[in-house]
Structure 1
Amino acid sequence: MQLTKHRRRPRLELRLRHHPDNLHALYRESQDPVERARWHAIWLLATGHSIPQVAQILGYSTRWVRMVIQRYNRDQPLADLRHRNPGQPPLLTPELQEAFRQALLQPHPRDGLWTIRNAAQWLSERLGRPVDPRRAWAWMKRLGFAPLRPRPRHREGEPERQEGFKKTSSSSSSC
């Protein structure tokens, strides 16, 4: 059986497009911490540090430094693009949020109480598409509303006997 030698990674060369002084300026002026660390790594590499030295100085792995070099060589942005993703716009515009709040303050037109299903139906009519009751409930909570439900009662409970257990302010006992 023949043993194979461990293959070394191919040598990774930094293809400089900037003067080291310019790299230092880019590193110092960067506001984004991820971009700043990447420019710092490129600047250190351009000034003669090796990949393991840069990894040790910056506290990152050699793999991370190699990925930064590859990014720089491919002319990819060094900034962290995750911070620029605004996400999906909210379901309700500020005007519709206020209209929903005002509607919830009034009794429901059909039965007087706003249930989650009633709220989902109201939102569906305004938005022109179906709205899941869970989404309506999330918006009700976000606007500061809570469901109105009576306290649970036992099916076999006797109201007359339960009255005897209620606390009243006049029957306070002193020990």
Structure 2
Amino acid sequence: MKKFYKTVAFKHEAEDFWAIYKVSTCAVERRRAQFFAFLAEGKSETETLELTRYSVSGARQIIERYNRLGLSGLKDARHENQGAPPVLTAEEQQQFAAALQQDFDQGVVWDGNRAQSWVKEVLGKEIYLGRGYERMRQAGFSPQKPRPRHKKGDPVAKEASKTKS
């Protein structure tokens, strides 16, 4: 079994970790607290890894995090990640929606490619095709596509077969 190669600089006792383990509602925080509680109690690295099901690399990461941040390093910080900023600002999205509505009123239907090229030409920003569709939905439009027509379809026969009410 590989060793951690990182020593835990314990600043807390096993009871501190077990207290966090008992009150926390976050599964990640509970698991990390359990990991450190086992180590603080003197369990071996191998036994701690078997009990907590951490990999060696995962253990190294949380040890480094605990050494750097202390007890706050046990928390799951993913929910604090706000993600990337939006590609279009609120003003640009309104401009996009206005152009989309204007073309729609003139009978022009946009697709994702058209939305993507409009953003590039007018706003000077690159967006992925899927983001073009998202911007359209955000503006209240759905991607439209004409119904398929049969190549050998006879328009005269089609009109004749329609029932008149």
In 2, distance between residues paired with 1:112 and 1:10? Answer: 68
The correspondence of residues 105-120 of structure 1 with structure 2, limited to 5 A, is 105-107=101-103, 112-116=107-111, 117-120=113-116
2:13 is aligned to 19
Contact 2:116–2:127 under 8 Å retained in 1 = yes
CA deviation map 1:15-35 (0-9, x unaligned): 422233333344445554223
Where is the helix percentage greater, Structure 1 or Structure 2? 2
Moved more, 67-76 or 141-150: 67-76
Sequence identity percentage: 32
Letter of the 1:41 counterpart: F
1:162 is aligned to 158
2:136 is aligned to 140
Residue 41 in structure 1 maps to residue 51 in structure 2: no
1:152 is aligned to 148
DSSP 3-state at the match of 1:86: coil
In 1, distance between residues paired with 2:98 and 2:55? Answer: 58
Q: Max radius of gyration: which structure?
A: 1
Calculate the aligned-residue CA RMSD, in Å: 3.9
* Structure 2: unaligned runs, 5 residues or longer: none
> Offset of 1:74 from its aligned partner?
4.7
1:89 is aligned to 85
TM-score by length of 1: 0.60
**Distance change (3 Å), C-alpha of 1:20 and 1:124:** same
DSSP 3-state at the match of 1:164: helix
Count of residues paired in the alignment: 160
> Offset of 1:81 from its aligned partner?
4.4
Structure with the larger RCO, 1 or 2 (CA within 8 Å, 6+ apart): 2
